[in-house]
Amino acid sequence: MSASIALLCLQATEDGRAIAEAIREDNEGVIITNKPAMIQIERAERITIKASTVSESLGRDWDPEELQLVLISLGGQIEETDDEFIVYWNN
Amino acid sequence: MELNIASVEIEPKRHTFGNVARRLGEDRPASRYEEAMYDAQPTENFHYRPQWEPEFEIYDKKRTKIKMNDWYDLLDPRKFHYMSYVSTRANQNAANEQSFDFIDKRGLVDFIKKENLQKVFDFLTPLRHYEYGANMNNLTIVDRVYGTAMMSASMFHAEDRLGMAQHITKIILLLSNNDVTKLDEGKEAWLDDSKWQGLRKAVEDSLVEKDPIRLFVKQNIVFDGFIIPLMINEFSKYMANHEEMVLPMLSEFITSWYEETAKWLNSVIKVMALESDENKELLSQWVKEDIEIMEKAMESLVSFSNNPKELIDLTKAELIERLNKCGLNL
């Protein structure tokens, strides 16, 4: 059976784009598709968002809880800490 | 009747401006910072040379001795464009406003000891004029530097400095119960009081510096590298040491602003020094010259402290360490 796909859909805003850039940097093989007003992010098994990378791409301190402000939808289980937000499938 | 709602996806023909896409190497949605900054400055078809300086084009890389292959390498890590700059500063100012209100509402100014209050008037008020000088110097950098990357960041920095002068004014007026003669006395001290004359001379000499990067090093790296740590941070510590917490609360805005701004300053120096050994030598040479000026100018100014020499040496060592980390050779 093929691997489950972890999914994130973000609003295509200034912050959303910066988060997508950070995800591209930290997640090898991630597929990022720009839809109208939305960024669709897909990767087998797991997507990791690192607060440090997003802070750098955004140019200011970014807290993983701010993800909620641009989050449209997600597919997978979630693990959230002060440093990371991870969407993954554990099956 | 059956209603079918179908969505049609229209792929935009391009995701960003052509000049930005060429920079990014692909046509992907760019950040507002990238769109507002990359190649915004014209580069060709200047019909006339400026009458006041016919040896240069209007925008000319030769105005500075620093050589960059690409002036757009000097990016601002804070990614300030108009909106992000304004909203960042507005948030900081709102937080700062609370400190002012808190102190005002509880009448905390009445509890400040007389000698402490006098020290604040003596050592803080004239800095308004220093900040105004910094504002003018940064506007000169905007005027003469090449490339929007440096131009826009320096413009924001120039506005910051005007803001700092206003911020100091607000502090003084709050502490003096809106006594504007305190501001006049500050100006007189800047003009006549012997302890300020070293700094005043340094600032006034810097106003005629023509090379924008030379001026950047002078004002933003070395002058500020002494003034803000000593006259704001150490002065606040001195006040705290003398049972005075109102001033440290009021000047916190400047302290945290400088921490944030240093990220940009360091990154500019780092990129320039990395570009070539000639740049590195030149920058190191300039820093050395200015440190010498400031070391002397600060001697009389740090007289609020019992051991000015030690404080100045410490600040100098910190500045040198910071700049060596950025790749200079001091």
Inter-CA distances, A54 with A60, A72, B29, Å: 9, 18, 17
Chain A interface, best mutation among B27, B31, B267, by max A CB count within 10 A:
B31
Inter-CA distances, B93 with A29, A51, B1, B97, B163, Å: 42, 25, 59, 6, 10
Q: Which of B160, B326, B296 is nearest to B226 (CA)?
A: B296
Six token digits for residue B236:
């606040």
Q: What is the pLDDT of residues B33-79, one digit of tens each?
A: 999 999 999 998 888 999 999 999 999 999 999 999 999 999 999 99
CB contact under 8 A, B80 and A59: yes
Amino acid identity for residue B279 in this structure: N
Whether chain B has a CB inside 8 Å of the CB on A77: the answer is no
Count the neighbouring beta carbons within 10 Å of the beta carbon of residue B140: 22
CB contact under 8 A, B84 and A59: yes
What is the separation of C-alpha B102 from the centre of its chain, rounded to a whole number of angstroms?
Answer: 28
CB contact under 8 A, B9 and A36: yes
Contacts of A21 in chain B (CB under 8 A): 31
Q: What is the pLDDT of residues B298-322, one digit of tens each?
A: 999 999 999 999 999 999 999 999 9
Rg of chain B in Å (alpha carbons)? 23
Reported ipTM: 0.78
CATH of the domain at A41: 3.90.56.10
pLDDT of residue A1: 54
Domain count, chain A: 1
Inter-CA distances, B204 with B132, B222, B226, Å: 11, 15, 17
Q: What percent of chain B has pLDDT over 90?
A: 90
Size of interface A-B (CB pairs under 8 A): 26
**Range of the structural domain that residue A48 is part of:** 5-88
B114-124 and B246-275 helices, crossing angle to 10°: 30
Residue matched to tokens 């810097």: B206
